[in-house]
Amino acid sequence: MKIAVTRLAGKEERDAARCAAFGHACYSVHPLRSEIQEDVIAAFAGSVERGEFDCLFFTSALPAKILAPLLKKTPRVIAIGPETARELERYGVACETLPGFYSRDFVPYLGDWIEGKTIGLPRADVPNAPLIDAITRAGGIAREFRCYRLASTNEPLDLDRADAILFTSAMSFKKAIWTPRRDLMVMAIGDITAAALMSGRTIPAIVGDGSLEGTLAALNEHRGRIWIIR
């Protein structure tokens, strides 16, 4: 299948190879663009340099890519997935990788260690109250740095050559300008994105585990079941 994957421009570097490993082709479509907040980035880097955090949690690859070159010394660093970890490690920032692909996995991963610790969160300017609340309830201190804003590109997605579209975040669906087709399979990268689709009266045929690989594996399993039924 040829899959249109919603991405911020520049975040699609390895998608083609990752899709090919599962027998599919893909290309990127861009419902969102990022607006980098340079003053916030400088403030975060300065706070890290001064040793104000016990842990940093990178919830996506973009802030890792922006900030990793600026970090000379770091406390404990957690990445939400292997792509985020790869961006950090590219610049020599050692990190741990969550076993799951959701920010809700962060506090359970740290366990009792989080109590009394200050957590630096370089993120998009998108609310994530459940993460902040979970850190606070566990006795941690959350400090958010909203390093970039997400805005609609206001451009219709190029789906004419696609057999499927994969929405990689709730925001990418909410801001997308696109035309559904009967022959266009709709996929969600995980359950949070799927919930956004269903709120918008779009039922995803495939729901992944929060990762591209997990979604492609679910797609192949789905196709295998259809083949057996036929």
**pLDDT tens-digit series, residues 123-151:** 999 889 999 999 999 999 999 999 999 99
**Do strands 32-36 and 185-188 pair parallel, antiparallel, or not at all (unpaired)?**
unpaired
Backbone angles phi, psi at 27, to 5 degrees: -150, 160
* Chain length of the chain: 230
| CATH topology classification for 34-150 | Rossmann fold (3.40.50)
Domain with CATH 3.40.50.10090 in the chain: 2-31+155-229, 34-150
Q: What CATH number does the domain located at 2-31+155-229 have?
A: 3.40.50.10090
pLDDT of residue 37: 96
Q: How confident is the model at residue 225 (pLDDT cuts 50, 70, 90)?
A: low
Q: Quote helix, strand, coil % in the chain, to nearest 5.
A: 40, 25, 35
pLDDT of residue 229: 42
Backbone angles phi, psi at 91, to 5 degrees: -110, 20
CA angle (61 as vertex; 58, 65 as ends), nearest 5: 95
Q: How confident is the model at residue 223 (pLDDT cuts 50, 70, 90)?
A: confident
The residue among 151, 115, 148, 120 whose CA lies nearest residue 37 is: 148
**pLDDT tens-digit series, residues 24-41:** 999 999 999 999 999 999
Q: What type of residue sits at position 93? A: V
Q: How confident is the model at residue 227 (pLDDT cuts 50, 70, 90)?
A: very low
pLDDT of residue 21: 95
82 backbone φψ class: left, alpha, beta (φ>0; ψ -120 to 50):
alpha
Does pLDDT of 216 surpass 70? yes
